[in-house]
Structure 1
Amino acid sequence: MSPTACLPGLLAALLLAAAAQWLAGLPWLAAHAVSPLLLAIVGGMLLANLRRLPVSWQPGLQLSRQQLLRAGIVLFGLQLTLGQLQQLGGRVLLIDALVLGSTFGLALWLGRRLGLDRDSCVLIGAGSAICGAAAVLATQPVIRASGERAGVAVAGVVLFGSIAMLLYPWLYGLLAPLGLTQAGYGVLAGSTMHEVAQVVVAGKAVGEAAAASAVMTKMLRVMLLAPFLLLLAAGWQRRVAQPGQRVPISITIPWFAFGFIAVIGLNSSGWLPAGLHDALLQLDRLLLAAAMAALGLDTRFAALRRAGWRPLLLAALLFCWLLLGGGGINWLLQA
C-alpha cells in the first residue's frame, strides 16, 4: 500500500482528532472532563452515518485503526512505571485469564444453542473475550473462517464495546460511593471491555489513575491472545486434519503488547529527557485520538442491521456476561 493512497483517510482521521482535542479544551467540556478520545469516536460515528465516505479514505482509515492505534498504545507506556505494573501483580493476570476462559466457553455453548455455526461462535467469542476486532481478525486465519463471518463478528463486538465505553464511566459514578476506587475500576474496565481503544476512553473518562490501571490490565489480557491462538490452532488441527497430516496455520502475535511493556521499562529507567518525554506524550494523545476517529468512521449502523439477530444476540449476551460475570470475578478477587 503506497503512502499516497493512505493520505486522504489519514488526514481525515488526524483533522477529526485535532478538532476533538480543540473541543475538549472548551470551558464547559473541560469542566465536565469530556475526553477528546470520546469526542473523536462519536464525531466519527456521526460523520460515517450521516454521509457516504469517499472510498479513497479507506486505506488511511485502516492505517489509523491499526498502526496508529498500536503506536499510541505503545507510547501510552510513557505514563506508567514498572512499579505500577508490579503492583497489579498476578491477581490481575488471573482475573484476565478467568474472564477470557469463561467468556469464550460461554460463547461456544450459547452460540450452538442459538443455531450459529461454529466459526461464528469462535470469532464472536474471541472478540468478546480478548480484544475486540483485533482478536477477531487474528482468529479468522487460524480457523479459516470467511470474511463475511469475520465482518459480522467485528460489527457485534464494536457495537457492544462502544456501549460499554459509554456505560462504564456512568457505573463508576454509581459505585464509587460504595468503595470502588479508580484503580479497581480500571481493572474492571481492562478485564471486561472489548477494544483496547475503548478501554483507554473509559479509563480517561474517570481519571488518570483509572486509565493507567485499565490499560495495564487490558494489555496483559491482549498478551493472552498469543497462547489462546496457539491452543485454538492445536484444536483446529485435530478437528480438520487427517491422521498423520499437518495443515499450515497462520498465527498473528500481538507484538505491540510487548512493545508497551518495553516502553514502561524505558520510562521507569529515567533515561528520557523531560522535553522529549513531554513531546512523545503529546504525540501519543494525537495518535490515540486519530485512531478513535478512524474507528468511529468505520462504524456503520446499516452493517449491524444486515448481520441478522442471532450473531448480535450472542454478542449482547456475552456483553452482559462481561459486565455481570466479569464484574463478579473482579469483586471476588479484588475484595
Structure 2
Amino acid sequence: MPVALLLPLLAITAIGLAQTSLFSQLGLSALPLAIILGTTIGHLPQHQPNSQALLFIKFCQQKLLRLGIISFGFSLSFQQIIAVGWQALLLDIFIILIIFSIGSFIGIKLFKLPRDMAILTSVGSAICGAAAILATEASIKARQQHVTIAVATVVLFGTLAMFSYPIIYQFSGTSEQAFGIYIGSTAHEVAQAVAAGQTISQNAMQTAVVVKLIRVMLLAPFILMLTVILGKLDKTTTNNMSSKTKITIPWFVLGFIVTAGINSYATIPPFVLGTFQLTSQFLLAIAMAALGMQTHWKAIKSAGAKPILLALILFILLLVGGFYLNHILIDS
C-alpha cells in the first residue's frame, strides 16, 4: 500500500482505537497509539519506504505537524486559565521550568547525552508528552533517532505515572480538587490526565484536564523562549564571532496562540469547533505514524540506558517533587 494512503489509515485507526473502552481506560490517546502502529508497520520488511515515500513521510512530520499544532489551539481558551485560578498557572510554570532545567542539566552535563535528545526528553516530561517533543523537534532541528528515543521513553513513563495516581491518592490526604490539580500539573499526556482523574472522581478529572490544558498552552511561549535562548548560546559558542547566527522563529507556534485567542473571544459553532479539533487530532496522528515508521528498535537499543534513566528521574521528580510543590502552592 502506498505510504500516502497507509499513514492516514494508521491515523484513523489510532483515533478509533483511542475511543474504545480498553485504550481509554489505559490512558492511551491517539498520538501514542499512532506511533505504536507506525513503528509496527515500519519493522515489516515489505514496508521499507523508498526515496519518494521518505519525502512524503518528511512532509507529514514537518508540514502536517505544524498545521496540526495550529489547529490544536481551538481546543484551548484563555478563559480556562482564569477559571482554575492563578495559583494553578504559577504551578504549571514552575513544573515546566524545574523539570526542563533539571532534565537538561542531568542529560547534557552528567549523562553526556546529545543536547537535542536531552532537551526533547525534558520537554516531553515537562509539558505534554509526544506532542511537545514533536513541536520542539521542529524548532531545534533534532536528529530523527533522538526524537524517536525521546518519544519512546516519555510514553513509557507517562503511562506508568498514570497508573500511579490512584495509589498515591489513597495516601495523599488531599481533596479531590487539589489532587486533580496535582494530576494535571504532573501528567505527561492529556489522555493520561483524563484517565487518572476518572479513577478519583468527575470533579478531579475536570480539574486535572483544565490544569493540564494550561500546561499545553504554555508550550507556545516556551518554544519561543527556547528558540531564542539556544540561538544566543549557539552564537556565543561559535568560533567566528563576527558571523551572525540566525534565530528561526517557529511561526506555527504563533499560529497556535492565534487560534487559541480566536477560540477564547469568538463565538464558534460547536460543529465547526469539533471539526477543527478532529482535524488537529488527525494531522497530529499522521505525523506520529510517520515518526513511528522511522522508528527502529535497534536505534533505541543502541542509545543505551542513559536516555531511559533520564526519563525515569524526571518521572520521579514529577510525582514526588510535583506533589510537594502542589502542597506548597495549592494546599497552603
- Partner residue, 1:96: 93
User: Which blocks of at least 5 consecutive residues in structure 2 are unaligned?
Assistant: 124-131, 199-204
2:119 pairs, out of 115, 118, 126, with 126
How many Å apart are 1:217 and its aligned residue? 0.7
- Partner residue, 1:49: 43
Aligned length: 307
Letter in 1 for 2:82: Q
Give yes or no for the alignment of 1:229 onto 2:227: yes
Aligned partner of residue 299 in structure 1, secondary structure: coil
- Partner residue, 2:129: none
Query: 1:295-329 deviations in whole A, cap 9, x for unaligned?
Result: 33333211112234455544554454455445544
* Residues 1:126 and 1:25: Cα distance change in structure 2 (over 3 Å): closer
- Partner residue, 1:86: 82
Query: 1:190-211 deviations in whole A, cap 9, x for unaligned?
Result: xxx4xxxxx2443454567444
- Partner residue, 1:271: 267
Query: 1:93-138 deviations in whole A, cap 9, x for unaligned?
Result: 5643554356435533564444x27xx2x32332233343543553
How many Å apart are 1:71 and its aligned residue? 2.8
* Residues 1:279 and 1:232: Cα distance change in structure 2 (over 3 Å): closer
Give yes or no for the alignment of 1:202 onto 2:195: no
2:216 pairs, out of 210, 215, 218, with 218
State percent identity of aligned pairs.
26
Q: Counterparts of 1:182 and 1:295 in 2: how far apart (Å)?
A: 32
Aligned partner of residue 132 in structure 1, secondary structure: helix
Q: Counterparts of 2:21 and 2:248 in 1: how far apart (Å)?
A: 44
Contact 1:16/1:293, CA 8 A, preserved across alignment: yes
Q: Counterparts of 1:14 and 1:285 in 2: how far apart (Å)?
A: 12
How does the TM-score come out when normalised to structure 2?
0.73
Give yes or no for the alignment of 1:169 onto 2:167: no
Query: 1:199-229 deviations in whole A, cap 9, x for unaligned?
Result: 2443454567444432331331442222233
- Partner residue, 2:202: none
Query: 1:157-195 deviations in whole A, cap 9, x for unaligned?
Result: 222111133223212333445445444422222xxx4xx
User: Which blocks of at least 5 consecutive residues in structure 1 are unaligned?
Assistant: 1-6, 141-146, 194-198
Aligned partner of residue 236 in structure 1, secondary structure: helix
C-alpha RMSD of the superposition: 3.6
Q: Counterparts of 2:329 and 2:104 in 1: how far apart (Å)?
A: 23
* Residues 1:270 and 1:44: Cα distance change in structure 2 (over 3 Å): same
Q: Counterparts of 2:94 and 2:181 in 1: how far apart (Å)?
A: 19
* Residues 1:123 and 1:173: Cα distance change in structure 2 (over 3 Å): same
1:1-335 to structure 2, matched below 5 A, reads 8-25=2-19, 35-51=29-45, 52-55=47-50, 56-87=52-83, 89=86, 91-93=88-90, 95-97=92-94, 99-101=96-98, 103-105=100-102, 107-108=104-105, 111-114=108-111, 116=112, 120=114, 122-130=115-123, 131-136=132-137, 138-139=139-140, 150-177=143-170, 178=172, 179=176, 181-189=179-187, 193=188, 199-206=189-196, 209=206, 210-241=208-239, 245-310=241-306, 313-314=309-310, 316-326=312-322, 328-335=324-331
- Partner residue, 1:196: none
* Residues 1:214 and 1:59: Cα distance change in structure 2 (over 3 Å): farther
* Residues 1:299 and 1:93: Cα distance change in structure 2 (over 3 Å): farther
- Partner residue, 2:126: none
Q: Counterparts of 1:156 and 1:32 in 2: how far apart (Å)?
A: 22
